[in-house]
Structure 1
């Protein structure tokens, strides 16, 4: 079953490249992607899928395409086009760093380092956090952090390992600590966002942007917490990060519906027509696999997490994947983007497709994605 799913993903990725060239997918409400320019926060996931396909197949077609994409990311960073946000890791880890990890591209390595410098422009030393959106001092967003950023700070950890510049690591750890304290709640759920006073750094309140309400648990945010804190543990060895990832994972698993694929928010009434978020479950699965990699054999919780991975991935492959639909552009149906805002409430999500394929390759081929560097000898 896993092999069939991987082969289907590789075919569709190749088909998309052949049909749309070097354009990038954007979210619609029409069960297809809108293919256009590199100007959103999501393009890195598509390039990451191309690198995953290359690692799996060894087909130079994918490698050449992934390397060609670097020009677009370099031009965008140089122009600072639509980059006034924290999602720099999502853009440059699965594209630039992936090129370095997989092919040894010096161009990719330097681009990833330059992207880390750009992410550091979000650092607010008075508050001790990376500002999510907008310019410094913005009246609404000047003091806002969001849980998603836990998946962007691996770019800073990596930049520290490459350069020895402590500023990268200190910012990443400080932001992770602040996220752990204020975005994680006592019942192991998460706030999507938290607000601080931009000048003093004083905590004000938790809230949401894309969730059901301020006190609810947006499922994709919970998934970011699972994977993000597990990655912070990988980079730092700080055990509280691993425990936090496990806490978030327990909550996620305990609140899943019968088919083990999440609705878009854990607090939304589950009724006919309530949108799912298959992308949240794909992200959470990758996070669980990362946690599992750090647990000893014989640990009861390791088996619990393995069972959760098996259940969710079986459900995604059997009931949400587009296997058997060769003309579809996406891999996973029933993802959601911003339900309350009416943007992609039930459609393909390119990040869902990426994490779905990453999970499949983690499970079968020891290909773990592009959130940390592997042994250099593995580069082709």
Structure 2
């Protein structure tokens, strides 16, 4: 059922690699990527797409392309280039860990473990959090967490499995618990970000950086929560993480628009040109697919989650994918980056492309991502 969509996507990956050798995509305006160096938080998604394309097609082109970036990612973590943030999991789970999972490369494993140690260094014991952004002691961000970090925790859980060093598991587990307590509201909605006193860990306030307003629910944040808590359950078997993922999923599903692809925030007033976020729907599809693997066969939510995955992915493939645009660099139209900040409110998002392809290949072949 999904073959045409996948084939179109992997061909676009091949074209991008061929046209921009050694370069990585950055978000810009005008339905295109800007190709440059490895100095943002998003480059891992592109390499992850190469690994997915290789696993799907078995074409050595994709494997060789993905492997060619390992030295680049190694150099980045060795020199700590633009890594004063928590998105180290996004960068290295989809590049180095992916390469190790697919090929068994010891070099890739070593790079991934160095990245995990770099992420571990962002643990702030006084606040009991993994600091999201900035250097330790940052006056604005020293005690801040954001919901996106849930997708960075698998790198730490993986490092624990590889080394047996309990410290990796412990901080990932504690951070997931803190996120569950403070980022998830009682009705199943979520804060994007939460602030703690960096000296004593006292809770200060919830808020947003990219959502509509502090009390609103940014749809991509909700998507990170659905997938992130499902993954936390996979690694820890803490039943409450599974229930939280389901709770967030129900909130998301109950607010789907008619075409099953969300706007950028659940609370933004809807007008004719209100931006969508196709990437949020793609992430949520992956989260629901993860939940479906984790739930009991007789779970009452299975039928609903299966239907939503099918409906959302069909809408993405039929109405948002660039299938009819052979020269398009991105896979999904109408993704939003930072609408409030007027940064790429309606464009290609490389993470949206990655999760769209991950979901398609998981449905077609049962191949998971690299979390």
TM-score by length of 2: 0.99
Residues 213-232 of structure 1: pairs in structure 2 closer than 5 A: 213-232=213-232
- Residue 97, structure 1, aligned to residue 97, structure 2: yes
What is the aligned partner in structure 2 of residue 286 from structure 1?
286
What is the aligned partner in structure 2 of residue 310 from structure 1?
310
Gaps of 5+ in 1: 372-380
Superposed structure 1 runs of 4+ greater than 4 Å apart: none
Specify the SS of the correspondent of 1:368: coil
1:150, distance to aligned residue in structure 2 (A): 0.4
Q: Distance in 1 between matches of 2:298 and 2:87?
A: 37
What is the aligned partner in structure 2 of residue 166 from structure 1?
166
1:55, distance to aligned residue in structure 2 (A): 0.2
What is the aligned partner in structure 1 of residue 121 from structure 2?
121
1:300, distance to aligned residue in structure 2 (A): 2.4
Specify the SS of the correspondent of 1:86: coil
- Residue 19, structure 1, aligned to residue 19, structure 2: yes
Q: Distance in 2 between matches of 1:159 and 1:299?
A: 31
The CA deviation string for residues 218-252 of structure 1, in whole angstroms up to 9 with x for no partner, is: 00000000000000000011100000000010000
Q: Distance in 2 between matches of 1:266 and 1:365?
A: 32
Q: Distance in 2 between matches of 1:368 and 1:37?
A: 28
- Residue 324, structure 1, aligned to residue 324, structure 2: yes
The CA deviation string for residues 14-39 of structure 1, in whole angstroms up to 9 with x for no partner, is: 00011001100000111000000010
What is the aligned partner in structure 1 of residue 109 from structure 2?
109
What is the aligned partner in structure 2 of residue 79 from structure 1?
79
Q: Distance in 1 between matches of 2:244 and 2:362?
A: 22
What is the aligned partner in structure 2 of residue 175 from structure 1?
175
Specify the SS of the correspondent of 2:184: coil
TM-score by length of 1: 0.97
What is the aligned partner in structure 1 of residue 134 from structure 2?
134
The CA deviation string for residues 172-222 of structure 1, in whole angstroms up to 9 with x for no partner, is: 000000000000001100000000000010000000000000000000000
Specify the SS of the correspondent of 2:361: helix
1:296, distance to aligned residue in structure 2 (A): 2.1
Q: RMSD across aligned C-alpha pairs, in angstroms? A: 0.6
What is the aligned partner in structure 1 of residue 268 from structure 2?
268
1:370, distance to aligned residue in structure 2 (A): 0.3
Specify the SS of the correspondent of 1:204: strand
What is the aligned partner in structure 2 of residue 378 from structure 1?
none
What is the aligned partner in structure 1 of residue 344 from structure 2?
344
1:319, distance to aligned residue in structure 2 (A): 0.3
The CA deviation string for residues 246-267 of structure 1, in whole angstroms up to 9 with x for no partner, is: 0010000111111010100000
Specify the SS of the correspondent of 1:299: coil
Gaps of 5+ in 2: none
Specify the SS of the correspondent of 2:186: coil
Q: Distance in 1 between matches of 2:115 and 2:297?
A: 38
Q: Distance in 2 between matches of 1:326 and 1:96?
A: 30
Specify the SS of the correspondent of 1:62: helix
What is the aligned partner in structure 1 of residue 201 from structure 2?
201
Q: Distance in 1 between matches of 2:298 and 2:90?
A: 34
Q: Distance in 2 between matches of 1:197 and 1:297?
A: 43
Specify the SS of the correspondent of 2:205: strand
1:8, distance to aligned residue in structure 2 (A): 0.2
Q: Distance in 1 between matches of 2:22 and 2:254?
A: 41
1:100, distance to aligned residue in structure 2 (A): 0.2
Q: Distance in 2 between matches of 1:19 and 1:9?
A: 15
What is the aligned partner in structure 2 of residue 59 from structure 1?
59
The CA deviation string for residues 129-182 of structure 1, in whole angstroms up to 9 with x for no partner, is: 100000111110000000000000111011001101010000000000000000
Specify the SS of the correspondent of 1:346: coil
Q: Distance in 2 between matches of 1:274 and 1:55?
A: 37
Q: Distance in 2 between matches of 1:138 and 1:114?
A: 24
1:297, distance to aligned residue in structure 2 (A): 2.1
Q: Distance in 2 between matches of 1:299 and 1:183?
A: 26
- Residue 145, structure 1, aligned to residue 145, structure 2: yes
Specify the SS of the correspondent of 1:300: coil
What is the aligned partner in structure 2 of residue 36 from structure 1?
36
Q: Distance in 1 between matches of 2:38 and 2:18?
A: 18
1:78, distance to aligned residue in structure 2 (A): 1.1
What is the aligned partner in structure 1 of residue 250 from structure 2?
250
Q: Distance in 2 between matches of 1:212 and 1:196?
A: 21
